[in-house]
Amino acid sequence: MKPSPFEIDVLHAILDPQREKYPLLHAQIPYLIVSKRELTGVGGYTYFRFDPASEPPEPESSIDLVLTANKMAEMDSPPSGLGFALDVTEGKINFLEFVTYGEEQWDGNVDRYQLVDI
């Protein structure tokens, strides 16, 4: 399945500012499909893989890193919003991690949201 508009917006929020440093990570976005979504109660994970029918760019290196943005997602639930980070493994986008603030619970629903600077 394709990433949701929310997941795409979060990927861009993280990778757009890093475009010059990691151009091939940014170039991977159109080739991603969701392999699994996992909720933890206080956040969740979206795991990605490349669409097998596509020809994504080869990773420029085998870098392993975690990227974040100076943004958060404001939404109705959870009321304090979500933070997020992107895991890159062996030069490929691996997963997005979403976290609530404090002990707030999140059911994974994203009806309305706005990405705002923190």
Which pLDDT score is estimated for 96?
A: 99
Q: How far does CA 104 lie from the centroid of its chain?
A: 20
Determine the 3-state secondary structure of 63 from DSSP: coil
Residue 73's H or E segment, with its range, is: strand 71-75
pLDDT, mean over the chain: 94
Q: What is the mean pLDDT of residues 8-32?
A: 95
The percent of residues in the chain predicted with pLDDT above 70, rounded, is 100
d(CA 73, CA 70): 11
pTM for the predicted model, two decimal places: 0.94
Residue 8, token pair as written in the block: 């795409």
d(CA 65, CA 41): 25
Q: What is the mean pLDDT of residues 1-20?
A: 97
pLDDT band at 37 (very low <50, low <70, confident <90, very high): very high
pLDDT tens, position by position, 89-105: 999 999 999 999 878 89
On whether the CB atoms of residues 83 and 98 are closer than 8 A, the answer is: yes
pLDDT band at 47 (very low <50, low <70, confident <90, very high): very high
Return the closest-CA partner of residue 113 out of 70, 67, 82: 82
